Structure 1
Amino acid sequence: MPLFHERSGRFSPEKTLFLVSSILPAVWLVGLAANGQLGARPWTEAIHFTGLWAIRFLAVTLAVTPLRRLFNMPKLYFGRRIFGLAALGYAALHLTLYIIDQGFGRALSEIVLRIYLTIGAVAVALLVALGATSFDGAIRRLGATRWNRLHMAVYAIAVLGTVHFFMQSKLDVTEPVLMAGIFLLLFAFRVAGRGGKNVTPLGMAGLSVAGAALTAGVEMLWYALATRVDPWLVLDANFTFDLGPRPAVWVLVIGLAVAVLAAINPPAPRPASRRTAMTGKAMTGNTEGASA
């Protein structure tokens, strides 16, 4: 199937937009490198850059199904495979740059000895497995049920990637906390939508409040366990705004914004049966696994 066209052969503006947006960070990185703007440690900066975009595209991949249902935009499903493969591409580049920077022998030793590197390498390996089975031929060979079960691993990858992000960030965990909060919100949407249930805009608003609370809890827990910072001061920062909006606030704002926008358009109708839903999801081909 052509990159920029639907199965029918018709040009797809949606696919084109998704494909272009998935490669823009790579183009940006090349531009920074060509202009010497990666700082005093360009390899390290490039490694962090690609890892950050890998986890961002993973979050976008998981967000496709909730957004498609809430906004009644079926053609968003094109983004699941594209963004999933983008997450794989940036994760693989992230690991490759690390190996080039450290040398194969030292990199392998570090991955074995350092737990956060081991976690990251496992996440990349699982992404490779999902990417290798994200195409129509693999879907047909595995069958819808087995394929969806395999691709449920994307949720484990999200957890592993977030833990890796936390551990390598050390003191400043603002962005890892934000990503953890977004994943928690997406996981909550999946749980709320199980059994053929529609998540209404009001339900999405409720999930946003719960997701924000969980995000604040994750931030408190991290500082309590990994640093000497008083976790109660961290919690207080979510209400005083002395340090600017905290990740929990951003999760709440994002979730409520989605809920408000979804209220404008009715939620998409659910498939008539679970079997139909599973077959339809499999034939779209994506690295997200079973829909949230």
Structure 2
Amino acid sequence: MRFPWNDPRGRFSPVKAVVLAGLFLPAVWILWSMANGSGAAPGLTDIGGVGPGPTGIGGGPALPDRGLLGPAAGSAGGGLGVPAVKEALLLAGLWAIRLLALSLLITPLRVTLARPMIGQLRRMIGVAAGLYALGHLALYILYMKGDIARVLSEIWLRTYLTIGFVAVLILAVLLATSTDGMLRRLGGRAWKRLHKLVYAAALLGALHYFMQTRLEPSEATILAGVLGWAALWRLADARRPQILRKPAGLVMLALAAGLLTVAIEGAWFAFGTGIDPLKLVVANINPDVFPRPAAVVTLAALAMAGLHELARRTAPRRKPAPGRRRQPRQDIPRTATSGPGGE
């Protein structure tokens, strides 16, 4: 039996062990927040509220604070009240989309840094993203007091919930087929085609996140920009892979990802809120409001170009394979013979 902290040869991998431990930290944070019944966790107030408002796309009012296994108020006395469950619900969904975006960056990181070992982390991180997404759904059911009929009705009637539910279903399918046994059963080619659905899940998850955060979707925009960069990298790798092996190509990709991030944020404000997107463009070039999401995505992508150049310069040079030494020619004396007629 191969444990998740082992490498493909079955040996203990310290890197995989550290990453695996790190993947459990958000779960510990979520359980701690539920046990303490505190209000909004650090960072939640920065994502624009906890539910879609009346003007959101397919929104409706925010989730009602109904009683759940205790008082609705998350007081200092603790208890599993609505604020605690709502906070855990949002945290689980937030970490699901974060880890999903990280899993899509593993292959670009492996190629950029020329470190094949990094590729071993992708499945582990992808599985964690799927589990957090399922936890997000389970906490929503808990929030609704386990009323499955009510849950299904809300998912059917509210567009943002429908989108999120489809994303969770896709991740559940990918999670169920992520084992080596399913890889052998489906075959490598079919398995790869199936798991390309991760991009659809990421797109739907990002849209669901946008519709949750409403008027201040900074982190949602950054994650969407990161996903856009990963998609552009994949496209370039399929069409012009040599571009990604040069710093100039990665710099161009970073600038393209920044522009794409501006377009994503502008489209959201134009169609999702009705706010003039030109104000957003001005904000992106205003140093007083730096850094905007587009700047964050661009700088992160430029860092990838810098890491690529650093890895190239510090990589050990391969010594040429030793060849056969050419023996010096020795002239044979004319008096000697080597044929059958000689002495």
Please give the TM-score of this superposition, normalised by the length of structure 1.
0.88
Where does residue 266 of structure 2 map in the other structure? Answer: 220
Where does residue 279 of structure 1 map in the other structure? Answer: none
Where does residue 176 of structure 2 map in the other structure? Answer: 132
Aligned residue identity for 1:30? L
Where does residue 191 of structure 1 map in the other structure? Answer: 235
Measure how far apart 1:9 and its partner are.
Answer: 2.7
Are 1:69 and 2:108 an aligned pair? Answer: no
Partner Cα separation in structure 2 for residue 108 and residue 150 of structure 1: 26
Partner Cα separation in structure 2 for residue 122 and residue 226 of structure 1: 20
From 90, 101, 115, the counterpart of 1:59: 101
Which structure has the highest helix share of the two? Answer: 1
Aligned residue identity for 2:26? P
Where does residue 308 of structure 2 map in the other structure? Answer: 262
Where does residue 35 of structure 1 map in the other structure? Answer: 36
Contact 1:14-1:75 within 8 A present in 2 as well? no
Are 1:156 and 2:181 an aligned pair? Answer: no
From 86, 89, 95, the counterpart of 1:47: 89
Where does residue 5 of structure 2 map in the other structure? Answer: 4
Are 1:89 and 2:135 an aligned pair? Answer: no
Where does residue 333 of structure 2 map in the other structure? Answer: none
Partner Cα separation in structure 2 for residue 76 and residue 129 of structure 1: 24
Partner Cα separation in structure 1 for residue 4 and residue 188 of structure 2: 23
Contact 2:31-2:88 within 8 A present in 1 as well? no
Aligned residue identity for 1:47? L
Partner Cα separation in structure 2 for residue 167 and residue 111 of structure 1: 14
Are 1:239 and 2:285 an aligned pair? Answer: yes
Higher normalized contact order (CA 8 Å, seq sep 6+, divided by chain length): 1
Ranges in structure 1 where 5+ consecutive residues have no aligned partner: 269-292
Where does residue 158 of structure 2 map in the other structure? Answer: 114
Q: Name the SS for the 2:288 alignment partner.
A: coil
Measure how far apart 1:196 and its partner are.
Answer: 7.4
Where does residue 188 of structure 2 map in the other structure? Answer: 144
Contact 1:14-1:76 within 8 A present in 2 as well? no
Aligned residue identity for 1:225? F
Are 1:100 and 2:142 an aligned pair? Answer: yes
Please give the TM-score of this superposition, normalised by the length of structure 2.
0.75
Measure how far apart 1:93 and its partner are.
Answer: 0.4
Render the CA deviation track for 1:29-63: whole Å, top value 9, x for unaligned: 22223333344412111111111100000011000
Q: Name the SS for the 1:17 alignment partner.
A: helix
Are 1:24 and 2:68 an aligned pair? Answer: no
Measure how far apart 1:241 and its partner are.
Answer: 3.3
Contact 2:36-2:84 within 8 A present in 1 as well? no
Measure how far apart 1:72 and its partner are.
Answer: 0.9
Contact 1:70-1:266 within 8 A present in 2 as well? no
Where does residue 229 of structure 1 map in the other structure? Answer: 275
Contact 1:59-1:183 within 8 A present in 2 as well? yes
Contact 2:221-2:264 within 8 A present in 1 as well? yes
Aligned residue identity for 1:244? F
After TM superposition, the structure 1 stretch with the greater mean CA deviation from structure 2, 233-242 or 154-163, is: 233-242
Where does residue 14 of structure 2 map in the other structure? Answer: 13
Aligned residue identity for 2:210? F
Are 1:181 and 2:182 an aligned pair? Answer: no
Are 1:78 and 2:127 an aligned pair? Answer: no
Partner Cα separation in structure 1 for residue 275 and residue 310 of structure 2: 43
Partner Cα separation in structure 2 for residue 197 and residue 154 of structure 1: 22
Contact 1:38-1:46 within 8 A present in 2 as well? no
Q: State the percentage of identical aligned residues.
A: 43
Aligned residue identity for 2:129? A
After TM superposition, the structure 1 stretch with the greater mean CA deviation from structure 2, 199-208 or 77-86, is: 199-208
Partner Cα separation in structure 2 for residue 134 and residue 175 of structure 1: 28
Partner Cα separation in structure 2 for residue 153 and residue 135 of structure 1: 16
Partner Cα separation in structure 2 for residue 227 and residue 195 of structure 1: 36
Aligned residue identity for 2:108? P
Q: Name the SS for the 2:129 alignment partner.
A: helix
After TM superposition, the structure 1 stretch with the greater mean CA deviation from structure 2, 163-172 or 190-199, is: 190-199
Where does residue 253 of structure 1 map in the other structure? Answer: 299
Q: Which has the larger radius of gyration?
A: 2
Aligned residue identity for 1:192? A
